[in-house]
Amino acid sequence: MSEASESPPPQSRPPAPVPGFNWGNAAEIVVAMLFVAAVLAVGVRFAGSEPERVAIGRAGPAPAVTAPRLPAVAAAAVPAPQQVTPGAPLPPNPSTIDIAFLDGRIRQLMNRKDMVGLGVVVVEDGAVRYLKGFGSTGGEGEPGSGAVTPNTVFRWASVSKGVAATMVAKLAEEGKLSLSDPVSRWSSSLKLPGDDQNVATVTQLLSQRLGIVKNAYDDKLEDNEDPRAIRTMLGGLDRFCRPGQCWTYQNVAYDAASEVVQKATGVDYGDAVRQSLFLPLGMKSASTTREGLVSARSWARPHIGQRTLEVKEAYYRVPAAGGVNSSIADLGRWMQAQMGMRNDVLDEQLLWTIHLPRIETARRSRAQADVAMEDGRYALGWRNHVYRGHRLVGHRGAVSGYRSLILFDPALRTGIAMLWNSQSPKPPGLPLELFDMVYKLPRHDWMDLAG
């Protein structure tokens, strides 16, 4: 499972990296420099860990390179925690979101043959402004089927990665681990080329910087092999780069985060996130198992076009990477918490830690909405982009028959989340149609519904 497809990944012998200047490494250095400047200015330290310059840590001395200059907005848009007042009401502003227009665009989207069911939530100034279900769950006549409502349960797929990162950062804040710890201290199954599991940090695990080929052995996971056993095989791969020096998206390896949580808490990963995150946030529909999905009073069946698929077990075996289910109403609660509206559960320093961009990422696709979002970077289980000069934080997810997304402006505490039970590529354009209204930009058909 990637955020875009479930196609088999490259196998155990990846192509050698292109020689030359390492831009990802240089960008990481700049991020670290920016952070150190913030530390000197306001005395910030991560709870339960060393400062970012230590947490980023790399194997061996850093090469002497000249870092590329980053767009000013990328740095300016990440204020230090002491500059943020979490949960405080923003100055009252008249809404710029045309709800009638938004609703009409969604109804136009739902007329497509590749759409079955959809849940949408919009949060503006920290408050839910729009929450609605569209279409059908599929499986007509079966228990839990019918019209999609705000309480219908879908799969989050890779949006789940933000849950794992939040949970691990919370444990670090509580002093139960350090983000600068080597991964091997907390995960017994993860093996990396050259025994790099003893060098790679928890921060590098959560920011997809382990130094192995992207989506390593997802195919074995989809063939129902044990993910812990697969993680031991990763040590036999060729090293793609030293830990921390490149970004390569992972699922099987990323799920070592579930072992980190289990060892630090002494309880199962699913139980830990439920007790520490889901229940305190009021996310009663949220779960991390296949049973949690199919036992819901209303749950969306997966589809390709209008054809119903079987709910596959594979990615529930890597719950930190792709195992979360919930209703769109509960995903809205999660988004509000990530905006800083639930400081009793997630404080501003924790949110700053997990949302801070760590490394540049490759462009997602040639879709017009993806091209419009510039300066892609990965944080801890979250992505950062810049759209028309505004920083956005979010993630997308994809497993067989389901898609998901969350995208918000942390400065305005405004954003959108969507869950749908088909593989339509059109919904990811809707967030930019929303932000065009928020930023008072001309309207544009980002979903390409007219084409």
- Tell me if 19 sits within 8 A of 243, measured CB to CB: no
Please state, in angstroms and rounded to a whole number, the distance separating the CA atoms of residues 30 and 186: 29
Would the pLDDT of 263 be above 50? yes
CATH number at residue 345: 3.40.710.10
Q: What is the mean pLDDT of residues 98-125?
A: 98
Question: By mean pLDDT, which of 16-30, 234-248, 436-450 is the weakest?
Answer: 16-30
Q: Is 370 a member of any domain? A: yes
**Largest Cα span, the chain:** 65
Structural domain of residue 317, as residue ranges? 99-161+268-438
Percent of the chain at pLDDT exceeding 70: 79
Q: Is 1 a member of any domain? A: no
Query: Percentages helix, strand, coil for the chain, rounded to the nearest 5?
Result: 35, 15, 50
What is residue 299's DSSP assignment? B
Question: By mean pLDDT, which of 6-10, 166-170, 180-184 is the weakest?
Answer: 6-10
Please state, in angstroms and rounded to a whole number, the distance separating the CA atoms of residues 424 and 116: 9
Q: Is 420 a member of any domain? A: yes
- Report the pLDDT value the prediction gives residue 91, as an integer from 0 to 100: 53
Q: Which of 152, 112, 150 is nearest to 430 (CA)?
A: 112
H helix or E strand, kind and range, residue 432: helix 430-438
Assign 3 a pLDDT band (cuts: 50, 70, 90): very low
Would the pLDDT of 110 be above 70? yes
Q: What is the mean pLDDT of residues 279-292?
A: 98
CA distances from 208 to 60, 140, 339, 342, 393 (A): 19, 40, 23, 27, 16
Would the pLDDT of 132 be above 50? yes
Would the pLDDT of 17 be above 50? no
Choose between 140 and 407: higher pLDDT: 407
Would the pLDDT of 136 be above 60? yes
Helix (H, G, I), strand (E, B) or coil at 449: coil
- Report the pLDDT value the prediction gives residue 44, as an integer from 0 to 100: 31
Helix spans in 256-399 (H): 256-265, 269-273, 290-294, 319-322, 328-338, 348-355, 368-372
- Report the pLDDT value the prediction gives residue 279, as an integer from 0 to 100: 98
Would the pLDDT of 67 be above 90? no
- pLDDT per residue as tens digits for the range 302-330: 999 999 999 999 999 999 999 999 999 99
Specify which residues 147 forms β-bridges with.
136
- Report the pLDDT value the prediction gives residue 258, as an integer from 0 to 100: 98
Q: Which of 276, 275, 273, 297 is nearest to 285 (CA)?
A: 297
Q: What is the mean pLDDT of residues 438-446?
A: 97
Q: Is 173 a member of any domain? A: no
- pLDDT per residue as tens digits for the range 361-412: 987 688 999 999 999 999 999 999 999 999 999 999 999 999 999 999 999 9
Q: Is 361 a member of any domain? A: yes
What is residue 410's DSSP assignment? T
- Report the pLDDT value the prediction gives residue 83, as an integer from 0 to 100: 52
Q: Across all residues in the chain, what is the average pLDDT? A: 85
Choose between 278 and 67: higher pLDDT: 278
Q: What is the mean pLDDT of residues 142-160?
A: 96
- pLDDT per residue as tens digits for the range 176-227: 999 999 999 999 999 999 999 999 999 999 999 999 999 999 999 999 999 9
Would you call 340 exposed, middle or buried from its count of C-beta atoms within 10 A (0-12, 13-18, 19+)? buried
Would the pLDDT of 61 be above 90? no
Q: Is 380 a member of any domain? A: yes
Would you call 74 exposed, middle or buried from its count of C-beta atoms within 10 A (0-12, 13-18, 19+)? buried
- Report the pLDDT value the prediction gives residue 78, as an integer from 0 to 100: 66
Would the pLDDT of 42 be above 80? no
- pLDDT per residue as tens digits for the range 79-106: 665 554 445 555 556 799 999 999 999 9
Please state, in angstroms and rounded to a whole number, the distance separating the CA atoms of residues 283 and 330: 5
Q: What is the mean pLDDT of residues 93-122?
A: 96
- Report the pLDDT value the prediction gives residue 317, as an integer from 0 to 100: 98
Give the count of domains, the chain: 1
End-to-end CA distance of the chain: 28
Q: Is 170 a member of any domain? A: no
Q: Which of 197, 207, 230, 205 is nearest to 28 (CA)?
A: 207
Q: Is 15 a member of any domain? A: no
Q: What is the mean pLDDT of residues 36-41?
A: 38
H helix or E strand, kind and range, residue 173: helix 161-173
